[in-house]
């Protein structure tokens, strides 16, 4: 059953002389709304490819009670080797939740200027790699224990340590809503909405 249709919010543009040039906005239109899906196994935030580079989106998903953020992606050899693992772990650690990525396998015989990096993964709330593939075709299977989110947030209470006196973050689509609208986090942690800051 189709739950939601998701569009990539941040369109990829890159121009590395002698390596790669790509401008997705020449072909695509960016999405306008973050996507959160409630499932039998937890609340999932969805980002696509380049969306992983924007920590604000992951923060928004945490504030809306996501347990897992999924990023289907097709990073190339240039950016994948440098950034792919780092960004997955960063989004998981910053928000103390699970991150799953799914990438096409690399075909070393492909006649294309865009060679895929691969390396699908499941990352835990402390940045630990729970399951991972290489660049070849593979199925990644890992266990997600939602209690790890709560224990991580209790052991390292980043939400309580944020300096709200120095910076603000606003979920503009939720302005005017209240936490009583059902946006709850893990084990009763209130999702932050309206003008509440992270």
Does residue 1 lie in a domain region?
no
Does residue 4 lie in a domain region?
no
Main-chain dihedrals φ then ψ at residue 8, nearest 5 degrees: -60, 130
Does residue 193 lie in a domain region?
no
Among residues 44, 15, 49, which one has the least CA distance to residue 31?
49
Does residue 149 lie in a domain region?
yes
The CATH number linked to 59 is 3.60.110.10
pLDDT at residue 1, as a whole number: 59
Q: Residue 104, by phi and psi: left (phi above 0), alpha (psi -120 to 50) or beta?
A: beta
Does residue 84 lie in a domain region?
yes
Residue 70 in this model has a pLDDT that exceeds 60: yes
Tokens of 140: 């990644």
Range from 33-42, 50-59, 90-99, 159-168 carrying the lowest mean pLDDT: 159-168
Q: What is the mean pLDDT of residues 23-28?
A: 72
Does residue 181 lie in a domain region?
no
Name the domain count of the chain.
1
| Higher local confidence (pLDDT), 99 or 174 | 99
pLDDT at residue 98, as a whole number: 98
Residue 112 structural domain: 13-156
pLDDT at residue 2, as a whole number: 59
Residue 41: how many CB atoms within 10 A of its CB?
10
Does residue 168 lie in a domain region?
no
Determine contact, residues 3/37, Cβ cutoff 8 Å. Answer: yes
Does residue 183 lie in a domain region?
no
pLDDT tens, 129-150?
999 998 888 999 999 999 999 9
């Amino acid at each position: 059953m189709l739950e939601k249709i998701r569009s990539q919010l941040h369109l990829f543009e890159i121009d590395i002389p002698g390596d790669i040039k790509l401008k997705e906005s020449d072909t695509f239109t960016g999405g306008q709304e973050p996507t959160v899906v409630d499932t039998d196994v937890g609340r999932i935030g969805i980002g696509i490819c380049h969306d992983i580079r924007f920590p604000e989106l992951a923060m928004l998903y945490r504030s809306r009670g996501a347990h897992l953020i999924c990023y289907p992606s097709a990073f190339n050899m240039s950016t994948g080797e440098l950034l792919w693992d780092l960004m997955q772990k960063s989004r998981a650690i910053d928000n103390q939740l699970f991150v799953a990525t799914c990438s096409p396998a690399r075909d070393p015989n492909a006649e294309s200027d865009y060679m895929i990096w691969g390396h699908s993964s499941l990352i835990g709330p402390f940045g630990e790699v729970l399951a991972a593939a290489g660049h070849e075709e593979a199925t990644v299977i890992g266990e997600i224990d939602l209690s790890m989110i709560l224990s991580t947030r209790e052991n390292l209470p980043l939400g309580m340590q944020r300096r709200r006196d120095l910076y603000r973050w606003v979920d503009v689509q939720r302005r005017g809503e209240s936490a009583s609208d059902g946006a709850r986090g893990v084990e009763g942690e209130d999702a932050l909405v309206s003008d509440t800051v992270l």
